[in-house]
């Protein structure tokens, strides 16, 4: 079952204060982007996950929220955590969590660019 349009629209509306968040369908879910950086995803079961790293993961864990595990066998855990239900209904909180997720995604993108830019010495 694909992401429901109502849920997708609700999430986009709640994230409006961040700026022009765009949604792109992918793998049966939806990726959410701000300034060309994916910072959140919505799964087919209408669950919102946001990008995490050492800078914001603790807030998700303190709220009892787990990471995104795309396969039932648990062989892969993605650096995204489910957003707490109370945040889903509070635009100010959603924006703050979204901003932190976007910053985590930007840090990951920056770190990945540094790794790719390394040259091998002879």
Q: What is the CATH number of the domain that holds 74?
A: 3.30.1460.30
Domain count, the chain: 1
Residue 71 lies in a domain: yes
Residue 39 lies in a domain: yes
Residue 122 lies in a domain: no
**What are the strands, taking DSSP E only, across the chain?**
22-26, 29-34, 37-42, 48-51, 67-68, 78-82
Residue 83 lies in a domain: yes
Rounded CA-CA distance 86/77 in Å is 24
Residue 112: the pLDDT is: 72
Per-residue pLDDT of the chain (122 residues; tens, 9 = 90+): 689 999 999 999 999 999 999 999 998 899 999 999 999 999 989 999 999 999 999 999 999 999 998 888 878 889 999 999 999 999 999 999 999 999 999 999 888 765 555 444 44
Residue 72: the pLDDT is: 81
Residue 56: the pLDDT is: 96
Residue 54: the pLDDT is: 96
Name the residue among 33, 26, 27 with its Cα closest to residue 11: 33
Residue 95 lies in a domain: yes
Residue 114: the pLDDT is: 56
Q: Domain span at residue 107?
A: 5-117
Parallel/antiparallel/unpaired status of strands 48-51 and 22-26: unpaired
């Amino acid at each position: 079952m694909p992401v429901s349009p109502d849920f997708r629209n609700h999430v986009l509306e709640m994230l409006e204060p961040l700026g022009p968040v765009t949604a792109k369908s992918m793998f049966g879910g939806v990726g959410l982007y701000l300034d060309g950086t994916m910072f959140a995803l919505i799964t087919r079961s209408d669950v919102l996950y946001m990008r995490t790293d050492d800078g914001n993961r603790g807030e998700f864990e303190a709220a009892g929220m787990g990471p995104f595990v795309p396969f039932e066998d648990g062989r892969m855990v993605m650096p995204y955590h489910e957003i707490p239900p109370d945040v889903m209904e509070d635009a100010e909180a959603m924006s703050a969590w979204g901003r932190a997720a976007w910053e985590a995604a930007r840090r990951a993108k920056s770190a990945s660019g540094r790794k790719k830019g390394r040259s091998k010495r002879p």
